[in-house]
Amino acid sequence: MEKLLTIIDGPRLTSCSFATRQIKNKSNKKVEIEIKLSAKVVVNSRKGTASISWLIQSLPVDLPFKFDVEVEGLFKMAKKLSEKELFDASNMEAGPLLVVALRDIVSDLTRKAELTPFYLSYPDFVTLRPKAKRNSSLSRAKTKSLV
């Protein structure tokens, strides 16, 4: 399969918020963290580029921390892409690059907060592919809680 997108700038952090609750005691209990992952694509047809950003948010539940992190990359398009081709390429080609950056940022934030580092599980990019209107996915991951 032909490579449709080539990264030319980034990935870079475009927004980040992270907050921890007061932690009274430590335990090794595992907690499930539900996250929302969404993507945004802005195309510059004249330059043949696409700015693709991925946002990850922890959904509001009783957790030792919450986060909202967005990264963005600028990609050169190999040719003019249809909406479906661009959607598929943003998931299958840009997604893995941007999720690696998101994963590193979130694990670093939790580690700096003196929590057990939280490593996001990688989304199944193949399941993100079928519906062109679909731009988010829910995922569950487990980490050790300190509460």
Residue 24 lies in a domain: no
58 in Cβ contact with 66 (< 8 Å): yes
Mind listing the pLDDT tens digit of every residue in the chain (147 residues)?
688 999 999 999 999 999 887 655 555 666 677 888 888 999 999 999 999 999 999 887 777 788 999 999 999 999 999 988 998 888 889 988 999 999 999 999 988 888 888 888 877 766 655 444 444 443 444 444 333
Residue 96 lies in a domain: yes
Euclidean distance between CA atoms 113 and 133, whole angstroms: 36
**CATH number, domain containing residue 9:** 3.10.420.10
Domain range for 94: 1-19+37-115
Phi and psi at 79, nearest 5°, equal: -160, 175
Residue 142 lies in a domain: no
Residue 29 lies in a domain: no
Q: What is the pLDDT of residue 116?
A: 81
Residue 91 lies in a domain: yes
For the whole model, what pTM was predicted?
0.76
Domain count, the chain: 1
Residue 65 lies in a domain: yes
